[in-house]
Structure 1
Amino acid sequence: NDAFREDWSQGADNEILREFTSAGFYRVSSDEANTATVSIYNARGVYDNVTIRMRAHLETDSSPASAYGIIFNYVDEDNYNTLTVDGLGRYSIWTRENGEWRELRGADETWTTDDVVAPIGGQNDLSISIRGETLIGSINNRQLVNVQDSTFADGGIGIYLGTDAGAATVLIDSFRVDASVPSMTGGGGA
């Protein structure tokens, strides 16, 4: 859909390539090691109380510890949240505040291995539900994250690609945003 394509940045920029493939995937590639790349959807949009879903996979020639995920509450490249998986079958949820990373679960390890996360080459369905300060993250239809974070109230949304020791490419099959509507039994009804 051409309207969907217009809301994603495309083209080459230094070591980063963003494009739509002939098969309809949105491809984000980075040849720069140890770098976080952000691709923001509809840069003029601000989102809160939404559920964001993304289906994607890391190409097999990517550095295995490279990661990809959903960006939300995006303010700028130094201030945002991301729910992320990597090519080693791990997941994490982060806040980047003033250029510094902080894992939100308070876990001993910043990355958690889980069999539900498909490793490099395998497709993952990521979902993040943002309900005020509550962030609920699922991977492949299994809830793995439920945290509170008040760092950012709202912001833009997009795709995260993080490289490790080498290049990485993520192919996004779908990216969807749905408004979160309170249920009548959750205290929001009459």
Structure 2
Amino acid sequence: MRVASLLVAAIALAACGTATPTPYVAPDLFSDDFSQDSGLWETFAEPDAKAQIAEGHLSILIAEETTVAFSLAAINLDDFDLTVAASLPNDGSTSSYGVIFRYIDGGNFYRFDITGDGLWGFSRRQDDQWISIIELQASSAIQIGAGTNVLRLVARESDFAFFANGAELGRVADDSLSVGRIGLFASTFDSANARVDFDDLRVVKP
């Protein structure tokens, strides 16, 4: 992964599209089946990537190599229990996807990654620097390729737990970021033309 290229793309794509919504405090229960575009999620269409809500999904499509794109919701969260289904209709074994949370700006957020070839990891972007908290590692719980993965992330103060398809992947503590927006992302490595469809997102208090 060429981190510099991914970072530049992420900042550029995050800045485009609709105007940034004003975050608000989330209720105890929030869900979205993406059956319609309520205006809650950022969407955009650029030559390299786009995020759209259509056909019952929030879809992120990337046309270029080493590119990351994400859609942020207008919700500020501190502690939460989030689940979302994600699928790779075009196989996408050389791409990654997942959840961004406690997003403050393009230089400060957490990222929960799943790759199309069955790896997962957890990292922090802080002061424009990447810090790997849990290195990418394999898990038999993750569906490879075009399968659907139900991701779950539980954030309680500085403690985080990560799940795929009902199986716990790991736990870790980090107190660097305490509150911020949530988002969904997709990225490519050395191959282009990735697509990730997100569906059935649900957030409750942990």
TM-score by length of 1: 0.83
For 1:25, the equivalent position in structure 2 comes to 57
For 2:131, the equivalent position in structure 1 comes to 102
Rounded to whole Å, the distance in 1 between the matches of 2:40 and 2:129 is 28
For 1:116, the equivalent position in structure 2 comes to 141
Shift, 1:167, TM fit? 2.6
CA deviations on 1:32-64 (whole Å, 9 max, x unpaired) are 32122221012xx210111111101123253x2
Rounded to whole Å, the distance in 2 between the matches of 1:59 and 1:141 is 21
Shift, 1:65, TM fit? 2.3
Within 5 Å, give how 1:1-190 maps onto structure 2.
5-22=38-55, 24-42=56-74, 45-62=75-92, 64-105=93-134, 110-165=135-190, 166-180=192-206
Asked whether the equivalents of residues 37 and 53 of structure 2 are also in contact (C-alpha less than 8 Å), the reply is: no
Larger radius of gyration: 1
The one-letter code of the counterpart of 2:84 is M
Shift, 1:75, TM fit? 0.9
Q: Secondary structure at the match of 1:6?
A: coil
CA deviations on 1:71-126 (whole Å, 9 max, x unpaired) are 11111122111111111011111111233222213xxxx21111110112010011
> Structure 2: which 5+ residue stretches go unaligned?
1-33
Rounded to whole Å, the distance in 2 between the matches of 1:168 and 1:137 is 24
Q: Secondary structure at the match of 2:38?
A: helix
- Structure 1 stretch 111-120 or stretch 92-101: which is displaced more? 92-101
> Structure 1: which 5+ residue stretches go unaligned?
181-190
Cα gap change, 1:14/1:98 in structure 2, threshold over 3 Å: closer, same or farther?
Answer: farther
Rounded to whole Å, the distance in 2 between the matches of 1:3 and 1:171 is 14
The one-letter code of the counterpart of 2:204 is D
CA deviations on 1:109-151 (whole Å, 9 max, x unpaired) are x211111101120100111111100011111111112101111
Q: Secondary structure at the match of 1:117?
A: coil
Cα gap change, 1:120/1:179 in structure 2, threshold over 3 Å: closer, same or farther?
Answer: same
- Using the aligned pairs only, state the percent identity: 23
For 1:185, the equivalent position in structure 2 comes to none
